[in-house]
Structure 1
């Protein structure tokens, strides 16, 4: 018997996008063996749509919205406990091309495999930045393909966007942190896997469509180097961005760079300085109770 794959799709109040996602999942040249939809307590008729149009799908309905972090935590936990070998992860706004899963499974060495995530709005661009072998990051598909003629970016991937995780990875590093809720939870899981020496990479032949990164950034120039500070006009989301960023920098990247970033946040958003201080303290406290076993800085993921 071959290895079994469970697709884990997290959704919240986007039933039209979920419908298209599920159609793409069921149209795979190598379909998953099981499909699990984690519904973050949607109120837009998602449960009824799933029951009527996709009765073959298992639905895990959460009692409240637990964000992407909570959704993937519960979905991966369910799929892992059911004994599946591979967990194929995505949000409801992603679209795998017909050969995505087949391409991911055809590679036999990696334990954590990512797709080249293409922007739905721009055929020549990726939805997120990818590192170049020498220095810098790019969204230009042609530049990425030229930089990696072997067809893979070893040691880097964009989690959750069609990525494939072997159950052995979950056994070693655990599940996504629910407490992160949204923003940065995927980066934290990637860095945790890297610190555990998980064999990972992006397979350029595995394509996955996703909307462009909608995160707002304020660009500053410090000693001739561009620094990007993510932010939100929503105070609650802004708090989570700063808190989770603090947690990630403290545990995985650089505490010195964290303090520099926090100073820049105060200078760039003086009206939000009290919130920045509260959020950063919350992130440090969370990092203290969830220490990462990381022996070196992951500065190459910083843009």
Structure 2
């Protein structure tokens, strides 16, 4: 397996953050072979095109991609004047993080790279992040960096998905506090996941039906069935946006509850023994959200809870808001 890595960045209406992300990728001590930018039909992005595709040209590869994904792609730009090859792919509509990474990985599979580095647009990688992740590729095919917010507060992520209840649990990075250089989890995150070509071929592409919320959780869960999914202490990514009380935002409430059905479907496929228990905890989650709306004086969230449950019942997935 070679060391050629393709970074896949999915972006939507955050050009300045995207540029900062790309600049950090170009400074990596382990050089990238490809950077693929998947634009979810953003407004503008003139500066990105000027900065990275001024000398862009049509290539056989870009034409093949345009033809193969013509139903989803509106524009493709290619540039090979730098050490790293660039591809900008503008989608014809917003497919969310899930759909964006699905197309991005599909395109990356057309390259000769054996590793794919999946990144949201609002993160910035420390210069040795990829190199430190790559040290663990002998023992894992799905590896994650530690995330730190821009204000130096920790984004505690160690934990997992409980197969009995279907709920996420947190261990508050206890392994790192106890001096361990890495720990094993059974979930994923598209803010720095490094995944092998072989693993993608085993578990398939991200499920675009999620749109956002829990798409990466389930992708990591699927990977954990075949490899030890690692969370690494010394490989660090800076997260530029810190969302306070995100669990009480309409977007999260809607997609979390609506996508719960998809999450349970995946878990039922592999751990059917606990199907009934997980359904009970699903109803508990609904009850918890309802209580929170009144406790936090946000009764307007009730309409998003109701819409989520109706759309879930009708299997209406993809972009819902």
TM-score interval for Structure 1 and Structure 2 normalised by the shorter chain: 0.7 to 0.9
Distance 2:187 2:255 in 1: 23
Q: What is the aligned counterpart of 2:259 among 238, 244, 248?
A: 244
**2:177 is matched with which residue?**
146
1:211: how far off? 3.4
Distance 2:312 2:303 in 1: 14
1:41: how far off? 0.9
Q: What is the aligned counterpart of 1:76 among 105, 116, 140?
A: 105
**2:9 is matched with which residue?**
9
Q: Any residues of structure 2 matched to 1:65-144 within 5 Å, and which? A: 65-107=94-136, 108-121=138-151, 123=152, 125-131=153-159, 136-138=170-172, 144=175
TM-score (normalizing by structure 1) = 0.77
1:256 correspondence with 2:273: no
- Which consecutive residues of structure 2, in runs of 5 or more, have no partner in the other structure? 54-78, 80-85, 161-168, 268-273, 317-321
1:208: how far off? 0.8
1:2: how far off? 3.2
Q: What is the aligned counterpart of 2:200 among 166, 170, 179?
A: 170
Distance 2:314 2:154 in 1: 35
**1:53 is matched with which residue?**
51
SS at match of 1:83: coil
- Over aligned residues, Cα RMSD in angstroms? 2.7
TM-score (normalizing by structure 2) = 0.73
- CA contact 2:7–2:35 (8 Å) conserved in 1: yes
- CA contact 1:4–1:33 (8 Å) conserved in 2: yes
Distance 1:205 1:181 in 2: 31
- CA contact 2:2–2:114 (8 Å) conserved in 1: no
- CA contact 2:115–2:194 (8 Å) conserved in 1: yes
* Structure 2 CA distance for partners of 1:136 and 1:173, relative to 1, 3 Å: closer
